[in-house]
Amino acid sequence: MNKILYFIFNIPCRIYWKTKNTILKWRGCDFADFRDPSFEFDIGYQYRPSRVNDFRWIMRKIDSEFLPFDQMSFFDAGFGKGAILIETMKLGIPAVGGVELSKNMYEICRKNLKILGREKENTKLYQANAADLTKQLDDFNIFYMFNPFPEIVLKKFMQNIIDSIKRKPRKFFVVYHHATLHQTFQDAGWLLLYNRPIKERFKPEYDTYDKIYTFENFSDE
Ligand SMILES: C[S@@+](CC[C@H](N)C(=O)[O-])C[C@H]1O[C@@H](n2cnc3c(N)ncnc32)[C@H](O)[C@@H]1O
């Protein structure tokens, strides 16, 4: 019964996104889900764009309570085809960047940004494993993740953020969308600033959390 209700409840949403994606496809863009076969799950997961409404909601939360949009420099860890980079630009965040492991998606993202007129000189996009970025992180104060990689990569990425903050002290926040590995943050002593349960109607097994973290020692810098 729940399966049927879930299907019916989501019809308007599906129609909206199908129409939007079809129009974008006509324009030459590509934001379809994608699993790049060039890497395994032990280094990273597949591409699926964040839900735009959830993204806007959590970003507005940061804007109103922690750091205004115009002071943000936003880094998407695993930007895929760039849907969230574009949403970030639409919010008026002045500096945007990120890293993507897949060379294929890195190219697609660049093409999408170009077609949609969102190519900017100060957009810093890297094609690499997020675990390998160090000084490049110094330019950013919002680190966004939508469940991109497993714990082994996440731990390195978290350490690289802390090293970056030590190098260049600043207020910073990690936004973790669909926070499956939240225990890793907790175990490492990060400070949970906000926890938003996301309920999926008629599919309780899809219920999840969006979380905002900073690192205790640096929260007041
Ligand atoms: C769930 S998608 C999220 C896409 C985008 N951030 C969003 O929210 O719409 C995860 C992305 O992370 C990328 N990824 C996976 N492992 C990675 C790694 N180790 N380093 C950089 N990117 C990675 C994947 O290729 C994929 O595009």
pLDDT per residue as tens digits for the range 206-218: 889 999 999 976 5
What are the structural domains of the chain?
Answer: 33-218 (3.40.50.150)
Strand partners, 125: 98
Residue among 55, 127, 149 to mutate when testing ligand 1 (max atoms within 8 A of CB): 149
Among protein residues, the one whose CA lies closest to atom 17 of ligand 1: 44
More confident residue, 202 or 70: 70
Rg (CA), the chain: 17
Among protein residues, the one whose CA lies closest to atom 14 of ligand 1: 78
The torsion of the CA quartet 177, 120, 157, 219, rounded to 10 degrees, works out to -70
- Both tokens assigned to 18: 């199908």
| pTM of the complete model | 0.94
| Average of per-residue pLDDT across 13-41 | 92
Does position 195 have pLDDT exceeding 70, yes or no?
Answer: yes
Q: Which residue from 56, 102, 51, 55 is spatially nearest to 81, judged by alpha carbons?
A: 102
pLDDT at position 179 is 95
Distance, CA of 101 to CA of 36 (rounded, Å): 9
Instruction: Determine the Cα angle at 78 with ends 149 and 18, to 5°.
Output: 110
Instruction: Collect all residues with Cβ–Cβ distance below 8 Å to 164 and sequence separation of at least 6.
Output: 134, 135, 137, 138
Distance, CA of 105 to CA of 30 (rounded, Å): 10
Q: Which atom of ligand 1 is nearest to the CA of 83?
A: 9
Among protein residues, the one whose CA lies closest to atom 2 of ligand 1: 47
Does position 154 have pLDDT exceeding 80, yes or no?
Answer: yes
Q: Which atom of ligand 1 is nearest to the CA of 149?
A: 16
According to DSSP, residue 101 is labeled S
Ligand 1 binding pocket (C-beta < 6 A) is 36, 43-45, 47-50, 76, 78-80, 83-84, 99-102, 105, 129-130, 146-149, 153
| Average of per-residue pLDDT across 36-51 | 94
